[in-house]
């Protein structure tokens, strides 16, 4: 499958049950404590962020 163009459309986020959200947050927090340099690469790329030093990220615009 190949795409020549991708169009992103803003939509409401899916509903995540509170117990699932708590589990997701707990697992993410544990992962970050185990590896403080961990970050969400796809979010960084899609948000247009650049690295500032060793620990900070800033928006390109």
The pLDDT value recorded for residue 57 is 60
Give the global pTM: 0.47
Structure token pair of residue 37: 């340099």
Which of the pair, 48 or 22, is modelled with greater confidence? 22
pLDDT tens digits along 31-42: 888 887 777 666
- CB neighbours of 61 closer than 8 A, spacing ≥ 6? 48
Residue 21, pLDDT score: 92
Outline where DSSP puts E strands in the chain.
49-52, 56-59
Say how many C-beta atoms besides its own lie within 10 A of residue 44's C-beta: 13
Q: Give 60's pLDDT tier (boundaries 50, 70, 90).
A: low
32-39's contacts with Cβ under 8 Å and 24+ in sequence apart are: none
Q: How many CB atoms lie within 10 A of CB 22?
A: 11
Mean pLDDT of the chain: 78
């Amino acid at each position: 499958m190949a795409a020549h163009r991708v169009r992103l459309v803003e939509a409401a986020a899916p509903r995540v049950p509170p117990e699932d959200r708590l589990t997701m947050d707990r697992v993410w927090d544990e992962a970050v404590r185990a590896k403080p340099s961990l970050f969400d690469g796809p979010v960084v790329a899609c948000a247009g962020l650049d690295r500032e030093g060793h620990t900070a990220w800033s928006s390109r615009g």
